[in-house]
Amino acid sequence: MTSAKRIRVLVVEDSAVQRELQVHLLNSDPQLEVVGTARDGREAIEQVRRCQPDVVTMDFHMPHLDGAAATRIIMESLPVPIVVISGSSAQHEVAETFRALDAGALVIIEKPYLPDSEAARKMVETVKLMAEVKVVRRWSAALTGRAAPARTEPDPTSPVSLVAIGASTGGPLVLQTILASLPRDFAAPVLIVQHISPGFTEGFTEWLAAASGFPVQMATQDARLEPGRAYVAPDGLHMAVKDDGRGGHRIVLTGGEPENGHRPSVSHLFNSVAGAVGDKAVGVLLTGMGRDGAAELGILRQKGAVTIAQSRESSVVAGMPGEAIRLDAATHVLAPAEIGGLLALLVKRRNGNSVHEPSKR
């Protein structure tokens, strides 16, 4: 592959040692070429204008201008796919890092410290993947585009007992959009499996609760599911549900082998919900690489559940929802702005409440 066809990368990192490692890792891949570096957010903005990269890797904690502020300015002027690479481990610091998603970054991944580490491999893979994403001025605008038409199949009439959502690359901002649109009296629990780097889940959960205004917490073993709350699967554990014998459901967390390369996996959650909840469930599959949860969304549909796939056009990576659409597993294909509204409508209509415009926070 000639240099003209390589993906042009700008590395933004205030640590000289870390900057050198990232440059080495990226240049070691024949599809990538580092065309510039920056030591802080102000330099990053200048280098984007000068180098015109295809992708930017962005540190978060930097002098003069942090990663979120630099991302916002870049996305308002010269939009480019931005991958935030974070070395934070404390929960609050990780939650703070997620501000970069509000500013327009596509994804947040773990900072590599060794050349042969999983984090190093993930960084190179993510940079190549994000180079294919079409960004616009301020990413949030992309989430309000027109959706593919919803299917006309009538919804089942059973009450909604539970909403199960699976997401991967690009999922955090979509989840924020969906949860923020749900009414205060949303009468069903929401279970979430989000593929994310180890150590980021607690911070992600804290950020999602604050950014959406919806009650969000980490899932814990045997917790009874409460309506109007969202539960996020923890690092390294599959999440499932079981009947509590009193008309409700409880959380089951297990180790076990990864499914579709993931633990927690969307497939594991959807299979469990299909068995325990059936036609009283709603399954939602959002943006992400691979096919985790796609076939199992079809199982939910076969059980009579309402199933929703994010539209290809609105997905950062259309792998998971695209596979579900290909398998005819989704009863509705929608952009994020429509998904929350449909969930609110389904829960109100099917749980016997009057259908009005959902109240907003």
358 — pLDDT class (breaks 50, 70, 90): very low
Q: Is the pLDDT of residue 350 over 70?
A: no
Domain C-terminal end among 82, 111, 141: 141
On whether the CB atoms of residues 250 and 223 are closer than 8 A, the answer is yes
CATH number of the domain encompassing residue 65: 3.40.50.2300
**Is 60 domain-assigned?**
yes
Query: Among 41-45, 155-159, 222-226, whose mean pLDDT is lowest?
Result: 155-159
Mean pLDDT of 296-303: 96
What is the reported pLDDT for 103? 87
Mean pLDDT of 205-231: 96
Reference 251, options 280, 288, 277, 212; nearest CA is 277
For residue 315, what are the domain limits?
149-350
**Residue 34 phi/psi, 5° resolution?**
-80, 120
For CA atoms 120, 125, 131, 136, the dihedral sign is negative
Query: 194 and 343: one domain?
Result: yes
Tokens of 154: 């009538």
Query: 23 and 172: one domain?
Result: no
| Model confidence pLDDT, tens digit, residues 177-205 | 999 999 988 999 999 999 998 889 999 99
**Is 357 domain-assigned?**
no
Query: Among 37-41, 101-105, 250-254, whose mean pLDDT is lowest?
Result: 101-105
Query: 78 and 170: one domain?
Result: no
Give the integer Cα–Cα distance in Å for 53 and 8. 5
Mean pLDDT of 322-350: 91
**Residue 93 phi/psi, 5° resolution?**
-65, -40
**Is 360 domain-assigned?**
no
Query: 183 and 85: one domain?
Result: no
Q: Which of 161, 212, 292, 311 is catalytic?
A: 292
Query: 80 and 158: one domain?
Result: no
258 — pLDDT class (breaks 50, 70, 90): very high
Return the SS3 of 242: strand
Domain C-terminal end among 121, 141, 161: 141
CATH number of the domain encompassing residue 344: 3.40.50.180
**Number of domains into which the chain is organized:** 2
On whether the CB atoms of residues 104 and 111 are closer than 8 A, the answer is no
Domain C-terminal end among 141, 174, 205: 141
Query: What DSSP letter does each residue of 102-144 carry, written as one string?
Result: HHT--EEEEPP-STTSHHHHHHHHHHHHHTT----SSGGGGGG
Q: Is the pLDDT of residue 2 over 70?
A: no
Give the length of the chain.
361
Query: 129 and 213: one domain?
Result: no
What is the reported pLDDT for 137? 58
Mean pLDDT of 131-140: 68
Please tell me what DSSP assigns to residue 200. Answer: -
Q: Which of 88, 168, 212, 314 is catalytic?
A: 168
Q: Is the pLDDT of residue 303 over 60?
A: yes
**Is 193 domain-assigned?**
yes
Residues contacting 204, CB < 8 A, separation 6+: 94, 95, 98, 172, 194, 196, 232
Query: 328 and 296: one domain?
Result: yes
Query: What is the chain's mean pLDDT, rounded?
Result: 88
Query: 181 and 328: one domain?
Result: yes
| Alpha carbons within 13 A on the beta-carbon side of 15 | 14
**Is 212 domain-assigned?**
yes
Active site residue 195: yes
What is the reported pLDDT for 158? 63
Query: 283 and 193: one domain?
Result: yes
| Model confidence pLDDT, tens digit, residues 61-85 | 888 888 889 999 999 888 999 999 9
Tokens of 3: 């240099």
Active site residue 292: yes
Q: Which of 86, 102, 181, 195 is catalytic?
A: 195
Please list the alpha-helical segments (H only) found in the chain.
16-27, 41-51, 67-77, 91-97, 99-103, 118-130, 171-180, 201-212, 266-276, 294-302, 319-326, 336-350
Give the integer Cα–Cα distance in Å for 55 and 34. 10
Tokens of 203: 């911070």
Query: 306 and 158: one domain?
Result: yes
**Is 358 domain-assigned?**
no
Give the integer Cα–Cα distance in Å for 2 and 15. 30
Whole-prediction pTM value? 0.85
